[in-house]
Structure 1
Amino acid sequence: MTKTNPGNFFEDFSLGQVIQHATPRTVTEGDRAVYGSLYPTRFAIPSSAVFAASVGLDPHPVEELIAFHIAFGKTVPDISLNAVANLGYAELRFHQPVVPGDTLSTSSEVIGLKENSNGKSGVVYVRSTAVNQHGDIALEWARWVMVHKRDLDAPAPETVIPELASAVDPTALVVPAGLDFSSYDFAAAGEPHRWDDYSVGEKIDHVDGVSLTDTEHQLATRLWQNTAKVHFNVEARPDGNRLIYGGHVISMARALSYNGLANAQIVAAINAGAHTSPAFAGDTVYAWSEVLDKAEVSDSVGALRLRLVATKGRDESMTLKGEDGKYAAGVLLDLDLWALIPR
């Protein structure tokens, strides 16, 4: 009798099923250091304990995406170990800053199922929640993933596609307790641009590019304890390539966005996200952003709704889709997020 975990296949999921994911993971200062060695991040709050304290965040929080990667990685053995592809995200909210010493535990509920017409796979929709050691929600999100079937003759479940909001309402954004940008040090942060300096419809070319490597990608993916086969095993894909974890591209694009959005300090929510093309070692990632919306959050804090786009190769025209409505060649990531910025 086998004691190993082959992962769940599409027919193993049922609507309303709740999965408690192993293993709780404690965040450390090491996570901050390794994150900074993998991605060219320079945002002042996660970089400087002194700066963070000056805006009311003490103890010193880590990057929001560290918490996301850790929590997401917990879900992989149960949700997407046998995935064809991770298809998208919605309704992701960060409820509070995560600091070294916090221990995150993650659970997921199956909220939708749809077998594909080929009968070989299906789409599983889940809502995942990560809580800290006190039971407080750190972050929650919905995602949908295409998963292989084990038994092609297994009957298709009733199709249920959940209704997910196109964007998190700005009134539902969580401002970290104590956050106050009224004495914000723009010189230390690196750019003078505040909320009023950005306009809806404005596009920002983040200019810089970083070439992906297999070594860094596998270090990152192991750091988050993401066990998806396609990221490590060259025999897991017909083309023999290791697929770059989509979260690696998200963090790379977020780090690159510093150049032009240095004061968009805190990711408060991710409204939607799609990994539109696969990425592999050797690809060079560039990024650009478009301002989709703005909201006043408090007297000193504003929110920018940003479309963050990662591309393979630099696209100075910053084109998302062609006339046919399909994503332009080279687009790797289309991420819609809310970021908090001083007013």
Structure 2
Amino acid sequence: MSKTNPGRFFEDYRIGDVIRHATPRTIAEGERALYHALYPARHALHSSDEFAVDCGLDGSPMDDLIVFHTVFGRTVPDISLNAVANLGYAEGRWLAPVWPGDTLRAESEVIGLKENSNGKSGVVWVRTRGINQMDLPVLEYVRWVMVRKADPDAPAPDPVVPDLARTVDPHQLIVPEGLDFSNYDDQLAGEPYRCGDYAVGEVIDHVDAVTIEEAEHMLATRLWQNTAKVHFDATFREDGRRLIYGGHVISMARALSFNGLANAQIMVALNGGAHANPCFAGDTIRAWSEVLEKAETEVPGIAAIRLRLVAHKGAAGDRALLGTDGKYAPHVLLDLDYWALIPA
């Protein structure tokens, strides 16, 4: 009997299955330093203990996407090792800050299954939770993945497609305990623009660009312990190219968005997202954001801003999203819809 793990295939999933993922991970200041070395991340609340203390916190929490990538990485061996594509996200919420020294683990519940018409693969929906050492949830999200079948003749399950919210209701957004922007320093944050300075429908071109390097992507994907074959094994794809982890593109785009959205300090919800086209080493990423919605929070002086973040490998200033066929244009890499906290 083989002791190695080939990963789960579509026919291995059952509705209601709860998967406790290996391996727990303790997050330290080293992860923050590596994250800021890999991405041009400059949001002040995640960079400076002193800035965070002035905003009512005990210190600087870990970057929100460090938490996302760490939790996501736990799930890959059980959810997407045999994936054809990661299709989307919904109902994502950051529930509590993660601090240096916290240990995170993850578990996922299978909430949807639907075999594809070709009989060779199917879509699996899971709700994943990241949990700290005190058994408190710090992150939850739904994602759906197209997964290969090991046996094309395996019977198809009864289709179950979950009914997911298009957006997270702003009343469900969690403001970290103690967060207070009454002493917020615009100069140290980098820009003077607060929530009231943005208009719904406004588009911000983030101007800067970063060329993706193979070595940096490999380092980042190992950092999150993401074991998906398409990211490491150049023989796995017919074209002999390593696919860049979609989360690498998310972090790069979020970091680029500092230029124009420096005060959108904390990601608090992930409404939806699509990895529109594959990204490879050598691609140069640019980004723009559209303001979709604004909302008050339960904390005076702290607002929520809903943003559409688009990463692409097109020319500077190119904001084309769809092609003539109604599908994503070939240069679009990421279309992400999220809520962030910003001074009102």
Scaled by the length of structure 1, what TM-score is found? 0.99
Deviations 1:112-155 (A, max 9, x none): 00111111111100000011000111000000001111001101
Match of residue 291 from structure 2: 291
Contact map agreement 1:93 1:269 (CA 8 A) in 2: yes
The separation in 2 between residues aligned to 1:65 and 1:238, in whole angstroms, is: 31
- Per the alignment, residue 83 of structure 1 pairs with 83
Contact 1:285–1:314 (Cα < 8 Å) also in 2: no
Q: Is the 8 A contact 1:202 1:291 kept in 2?
A: yes
Unaligned runs of 5+ in 1: none
Off by >3 Å, runs of 4+ in structure 1: none
Contact 2:244 2:278 in 1 (8 A): yes
Determine if the alignment matches structure 1 residue 307 to structure 2 residue 305. no
Counterparts of 1:57 and 1:325, CA distance in 2:
45
**3-state SS of 2:134 partner:** coil
Q: Distance in 2 between matches of 1:236 and 1:175?
A: 43
Q: Is the 2:50–2:59 Cα contact (8 Å) retained in structure 1?
A: no
Q: Which residue of 2 aligns with 1:334?
A: 335
Q: 2:207 & 2:327 partners in 1: Cα distance?
A: 24
- Aligned 1:7-18 pairs, distance under 5 A: 7-18=7-18
How far did residue 326 of structure 1 move?
1.6
Counterpart in 2 of 1:5?
5
Q: Deviations over 1:22-76 (max 9, x none)?
A: 0100000000000000000110011101001100121320100000000000000
Deviations 1:236-267 (A, max 9, x none): 11111100000000000000000000000000
Alignment gaps of 5+ in structure 2: none
Tell me how far apart the structure 1 counterparts of residues 137 and 220 of structure 2 sit (CA, whole Å): 24
Distance 1:314 1:195 in 2: 29
Q: Measure how far apart 1:268 and its partner are.
A: 0.5
Number of aligned residue pairs: 343
* Conserved 8 A contact 1:8-1:78: yes
Specify the alignment match of 2:138 in structure 1.
138
SS at match of 2:22: coil
Query: C-alpha offsets along residues 63-91 of structure 1, whole Å, 9 cap, x if unaligned?
Result: 00000000000000000001111111001
In the alignment, what sits opposite 1:21? 21
Equivalent AA in structure 2 for residue 175 of structure 1: V
- CA contact 1:283–1:313 (8 Å) conserved in 2: no
The residue number in structure 2 matching 1:93 is: 93
8 Å contact from structure 2 (residues 81, 227) kept in 1: yes
TM-score under structure 2 length normalisation? 0.98
Contact 1:126/1:144, CA 8 A, preserved across alignment: yes
Deviations 1:136-177 (A, max 9, x none): 110000000011110011011111100110000000000000
In the other structure, the counterpart of 1:321 is: 322
Q: Work out the CA distance in 1 between the residues paired with 2:318 and 2:281.
A: 25
For residue 106 of structure 2, give the secondary structure of its aligned residue in structure 1: strand
Q: Residues 247-258 of structure 1 correspond to what in structure 2 (within 5 A)?
A: 247-258=247-258
Amino acid at match of 2:194: R
Pick which of 267-276 and 294-303 moved more.
Answer: 294-303
Deviation at 1:324, TM superposition (A): 3.8
> What amino acid is the match of 1:231?
H
Match of 1:55 in 2: 55
The Cα shift of 1:313 comes to 2.7
Q: Secondary structure at the match of 1:142?
A: strand
Superposed CA RMSD in Å reads: 0.8
